[in-house]
Amino acid sequence: MSENRSRKWLKISCIGCVGLPCVGLMLTFGWVKCQVGKIGDQLPKELAALKKMGVPTEPADLAPNPPIPTGQNAGVLLEELIAELKELRNDANYKKAYNELSSNRKANPEDNPLVVTAIAQFGGYLKKADRLGSFRRLDFHRDYSLGASLMFPEYADIKEIAKWQAARSRLYIKEGNLSGSLSALRSIFAMARQCFDEPTIISALVGIAIDAIGQRAFETHLEAIKANQPALAEARNMLESFQSDFNLKWSLAGEVIMGRIYIQSLRKWNDAMWMDSEGGYETEPSRPDPIDRMTLGDPSVRRMFEAKYLELWRKAHEQMPKSNSDWKGIGKAMATIEKTLENDNSAENYLNQILYPVFGQFANAAGLFQARYRLSLLSIRLLQDRVRGLPTDLTRYGQLAIDPMDGKPIRYIRKGGGFKIWSVGRDEVDNKGAKYYPGSGMSNQNVDEVMYFFYPEKAPPPRFQAGGMSTTTPIGGPPTAGTYSP
- Mind listing the pLDDT tens digit for each residue in 272-330? 654 443 434 444 444 334 445 447 778 888 999 999 999 999 999 999 999 998 999 99
Flag whether 440 is in a domain: no
Residues 32-41: contacts with CB under 8 Å, at least 24 apart: 32/295, 32/298, 32/301, 35/304, 35/347, 35/348, 36/298, 36/300, 36/301, 36/303, 36/304, 37/300, 37/304, 39/304, 39/307, 39/308, 39/348, 40/300, 40/301, 40/303, 40/304, 40/306, 40/307, 41/307
**pLDDT surpassing 50 at residue 410:** yes
**pLDDT surpassing 70 at residue 18:** no
Flag whether 260 is in a domain: yes
Beta strand residue intervals within 230-341, DSSP E: 273-275, 281-283
pLDDT band (50, 70, 90) for residue 28: low
Contact present, 181 and 232 (Cβ < 8 Å): no
pLDDT for the residue numbered 29: 55
Q: What percent of the chain has pLDDT over 70?
A: 78
More confident residue, 326 or 353: 326
Flag whether 273 is in a domain: yes
More confident residue, 33 or 43: 43
Q: What is the rounded average pLDDT of the residues 193-217?
A: 95
What secondary structure letter does DSSP report for 17?
T
Flag whether 261 is in a domain: yes
Q: What is the rounded average pLDDT of the residues 65-88?
A: 96
Residues spanned by the domain of 47: 3-63+250-324
Q: How many domains does the chain have?
A: 1
What is the DSSP code string of 423-437? E-TTTTS--TT-B--
Strand ranges of the sheet holding 449-453, from the earlier edge strand across to the other edge = 411-415, 418-423, 449-453
Three-state SS at 106:
coil
Question: Rounded mean pLDDT of the chain?
Answer: 82
pLDDT band (50, 70, 90) for residue 377: very high
pLDDT for the residue numbered 467: 38
Flag whether 265 is in a domain: yes
Q: What is the rounded average pLDDT of the residues 147-173?
A: 95
Range of weakest confidence among 79-88, 276-285, 425-434: 276-285
Report the C-alpha gap between 18 and 87 in whole angstroms. 52
Flag whether 230 is in a domain: no
What dihedral do alpha carbons 287, 290, 295, 297 form, nearest 10°? Answer: 80
pLDDT for the residue numbered 270: 66
pLDDT band (50, 70, 90) for residue 479: very low
233-266: pLDDT as tens digits: 999 999 999 988 889 999 999 999 999 999 999 8
More confident residue, 462 or 94: 94
pLDDT for the residue numbered 342: 85
pLDDT for the residue numbered 260: 95
96-123: pLDDT as tens digits: 999 988 875 556 777 889 999 999 999 9
More confident residue, 35 or 189: 189
Range of weakest confidence among 37-51, 172-186, 423-437: 423-437
Q: What is the rounded average pLDDT of the residues 354-381?
A: 89
pLDDT for the residue numbered 291: 45
What dihedral do alpha carbons 210, 213, 218, 219 form, nearest 10°? Answer: 140
Report the C-alpha gap between 4 and 80 in whole angstroms. 46
pLDDT for the residue numbered 387: 86
Flag whether 222 is in a domain: no
More confident residue, 31 or 169: 169
More confident residue, 351 or 403: 403
**pLDDT surpassing 60 at residue 134:** yes
pLDDT for the residue numbered 170: 95
pLDDT for the residue numbered 319: 93
Q: What is the rounded average pLDDT of the residues 173-188?
A: 96
pLDDT band (50, 70, 90) for residue 205: very high
pLDDT band (50, 70, 90) for residue 71: very high
Flag whether 34 is in a domain: yes
Determine the angle formed by the axes of helices 113-121 and 92-103, rounding to 10 degrees.
Answer: 130
